[in-house]
Amino acid sequence: MSGEMFPEPGWLSEEVKTGTTIIAVTFDGGVVLGSDSRVSAGETVVNRVMNKLSLLHDKIYCALSGSAADAQTIAEIVNYQLDVHSIEVEDDPLVCSAATLVKNISYKYKEELSAHLIVAGWDRKEGGQVYATLNGLLTRQPFAIGGSGSFYIHGFVDAEYRKKMTKRECQEFVVNALSLAMGRDGSSGGVAYVVTIDQDGAEEKCVLGNELPKFFDQ
Amino acid sequence: MALSCVLDPALPGFNFENSTRNIVLENGSEEGKIKAPKPMKTGTTIAGVVYKDGVVLGADTRATSDEVVADKKCAKIHYIAPNIYCCGAGTAADTEKTTDMLSSNLTIFSMNSGRNPRVIMAVNILQDMLFRYRGMIGAHLILGGVDCTGCHLYTVGPYGSMDKVPYLAMGSGNLAAMGILEDRFKANMDLEEAKALVSDAVHAGIMSDLGSGNNIDLCVITKEGVDYIRPHKESPYNYKREAKYKYKPGTTPVLTKTVTQLELELVHETVQMMETGSS
């Protein structure tokens, strides 16, 4: 009998990654975050319904991509730090504070961690904001996309984004972008989670697979 | 806070005390290259399902060391707390020790605070520890339990990632088991349906995976208590030994017997007093 009785399954050695599509877009009065729900370890899908939009504070969410463990841990740590910070200043934290905290961790441990978080939310000072924190950089953008599926929709979002969209238009834009990416990227799929944040709070929604918009599909 | 002095305080950084020793041993002298023993893996099928009144966990009982079955009746469903049990896949030693440590920590916590531990607390402690060790601890765990907030089923990966799901399978047989679960899982099943589903899922894993086999253990956790059914289903391939392989003394005839006295000389004698308790 040959030595290799059963080849080692991917999930044994591969780290669990969220090969992903995440997107965050500002509209007039808030932000909309969206993500797919597929978590893979090698070629196996480990969880097909994971919600990658993590709460950092009441009106600040972050979207996780990259290594699942690293991203979840960063989100938990920043959640704790933001709680302490908001108690100290006796006010709701600013979105740029949350983004700076994420950036600090990403930059300090950039050699060990491999996670990319998009931070988005609403605060009283600047309204809806989206920050990208890739590998320790911090930049504010009108919209941001991330994850392996984002490569397929760069053209789409660049062409279709308009300033000052309404809340409905923005949610539609996010769901369209997600379905296009999920249709082309093998590591993205499942359902779409959408979170809308404005001055009244955060509203979470889940769009099931069969409710996603269909595009030209032969 | 009481909790910080209760839990095992974590030393800063990672503890890789033995890795240099291991490297030195493996790359030893030219003739004496010692091959590190392959750790015993529980190539496994474990599954869990949340049903109407609680959680059902199931596991096979085979532990393999490369191609040999090292243990036919391995217990893969570990006790964590009276209301929390954990199935472990991956390296047998890692899952055993991790769950033991978790169980001790939670017992100390509940004695200190007078509260029953919650499943999410067990998950958080596990996640912290496994993340700190950067995947070096090969433990893939399914935690299930019932606490004051409801019935929960979580999985924690070796790198520290966590997922909360209503049904789950892990281990090398997880693809086959997941097929059964995806097909037949319904929300709010009753007990018999849930037990049959988990048992069939583990059975599918046993049939389709070489690393899983032998018996099926089930563990049903509800608000009232725990029903640890070991075994739920026994393998029909339990071989009975045909004959005894022990030989009676006298089977081999003694032909000759020579006794040689060793000439020993007492050279040096020292007596050391041992400290045995207080005076």
Instruction: Please confirm whether the linkage preceding B9 is cis (ω < 30° from 0).
Output: no
CB A116 within 8 A of CB A146: yes
User: Residues of B with CB below 8 A from A68's CB?
Assistant: 157, 159, 161
- Break chain B down into helix, strand, coil percent, rounded to 5: 30, 25, 45
pLDDT of residue A146: 93
A17 → chain B, closest CA residue? B161
Smallest Cβ–Cβ distance between B159 and the set A1, A16, A44 belongs to A16
Of B140, B157, B211, the CB nearest to A69: B157
Which structure tokens are listed for B110?
A: 């509940």
How many other CB atoms are found less than 10 A from the CB of residue B53? 17
Nearest one of B92, B49, B76, B79 to B226, comparing CA atoms: B79
For B212, name the nearest residue in chain A, comparing CA atoms only.
A6
Q: How many CA atoms lie within 13 A of B248 on its CB side?
A: 2
The pTM assigned to this predicted structure is 0.74
Q: What is the pLDDT of residue B5?
A: 47
CA–CA dist B215, B210 (Å, integer): 14
Greater pLDDT, A185 or B49? B49
- Cβ neighbours of A11 in B, within 8 Å: 140, 174
Confidence tier at A1 by pLDDT (50, 70, 90): very low
Pick the catalytic residue from B44, B45, B91, B99.
B44
Contact at CB, A1 and B67, closer than 8 angstroms = yes
B214-228 mean pLDDT: 92
Termini Cα distance of chain B: 39
List, for residues A69-104, the tens digit of each pLDDT value. Answer: 999 999 999 999 999 999 999 999 999 999 999 999
- Residues of chain A that touch chain B, judged by Cβ-Cβ distance less than 8 Å: 1, 5-6, 9, 11-12, 15-16, 39, 41, 44, 46-47, 49-50, 67-70, 72-73, 112
Higher pLDDT, A15 or A10: A15
Q: Do A46 and B157 touch (CB under 8 A)?
A: yes
pLDDT at residue B35 tops 70: no
Q: Is residue B63 scored above 90 in pLDDT? A: no
Q: Tell me the sheet residues that pair with B268.
A: none
**pLDDT greater than 80 at residue B1:** no
pLDDT band per the 50, 70, 90 thresholds, residue B247: confident
pLDDT at A94: 94
When scoring B38, B161, B170, B207 by the number of chain A Cβ atoms within 10 A, the one with the most, hence best to mutate, is: B161
Contacts B155 to A, Cβ<8 Å: 47
Mean pLDDT value of segment A162-179 = 94
Share of chain B above pLDDT 90, in %: 48
Nearest to A15 among B90, B135, B162 (CB): B135
Nearest residue to A6 (alpha-carbon basis) of B91, B90, B175, B43 = B43
Q: How confident is the model at residue A3 (pLDDT cuts 50, 70, 90)?
A: very low
Structure confidence at residue B40 as a pLDDT band (50, 70, 90): low
Residue-level pLDDT at B9: 57
Report CA A130 to chain centroid distance, whole Å: 11
Q: Please state the φ and ψ torsions of residue B212, each to the nearest 5 degrees.
A: -120, 150
| pLDDT score of B115 | 85
CB A150 within 8 A of CB A22: yes
The residue to which tokens 């765990």 are assigned: B141
Mean pLDDT, chain B, rounded, equals: 85
Contacts of A6 in chain B (CB under 8 A): 43, 172, 209-211
A20 classed as catalytic: yes
The residue among A5, A16, A76 with the most chain B CBs within 10 A of its CB, best to mutate, is A16
Query: B160: nearest CA in chain A?
Result: A69
